[in-house]
Amino acid sequence: MADLSNKVAVVTGGRRGIGRAIAMLLAQRGADVLIGDCTEDPGKGTAAEIAAATGRRVIANCVDVAKYESAVEFIEGAVEHFGRVDILVNNAGITRDNLIVRISDADWNAVLDVNLKGAFNCCKAVARRMMKQRYGRIVNITSVAGIAGNAGQTNYASSKAGLVGLTKSLAKELGSRNITVNAVAPGFVTTALTDDLPQDLKEAAIKMTPLGRFGVPEDIARAVAFLVSDDAAFITGQVLSVDGGMVMQ
């Protein structure tokens, strides 16, 4: 099991679902963790639960990743509290699904601003510090929709495809400073977002998945924990699909 002792991790969208599972597993493996969300409660209860379960220092602060100034303040908060940032996981994301003829400018902009620009903002906010310390691990949470597309999600799929380009470009830009940049592309995962899907859509998704089930947040967390560990020190610019085989279809 990869040891993350003495590492400091930042996880956006860490209050619940996949982000919570990532924060929990990184803490279980020894990291101190800052989680963030843009809701009134950024996850202070979640942070307390993870800290109690793992014995690590875990805190939560508000962040609006779509705004660069907020992203900078968020990252600086981690530095002030923990002294450094070693790991950044860009997990914050939203959906505004609809057919393209019904997607408003507001819904297009909101999804791109959070999912893609948000990751860019956080990467930019942390890059200089990681370059100075000559160490860093960045993981962007994309989606199978960003690889294969999905009807009714042109905004979401575009934002997630953009993350693939961001990941590969940044990996080339930062690699000489011992900073790896990778992405994880989940398939259908049991979260609050998928709970509301119509039953027929859930059944269709399972039929398209060779392993015959939805993933769970912990499936994604284990992939992230691997990519931020020393076991993956020679892996960068990659997109790891954690989707039960869906993208093969």
| Among 108, 156, 188, 214, the one annotated catalytic | 156
Cα gap 23→67, rounded to integer Å: 23
Cα gap 59→47, rounded to integer Å: 5
Tokens of 111: 């999804």
Q: Regarding beta strands 32-37 and 136-141, do their DSSP bridges make them parallel or antiparallel, or are they unpaired?
A: unpaired
Choose among 136, 146, 123, 171: nearest CA to 241: 146
Q: Give the three-state DSSP class for 151.
A: coil
Choose among 200, 194, 180: nearest CA to 243: 194
Residue 156: active-site member:
yes
Active site residues: 156
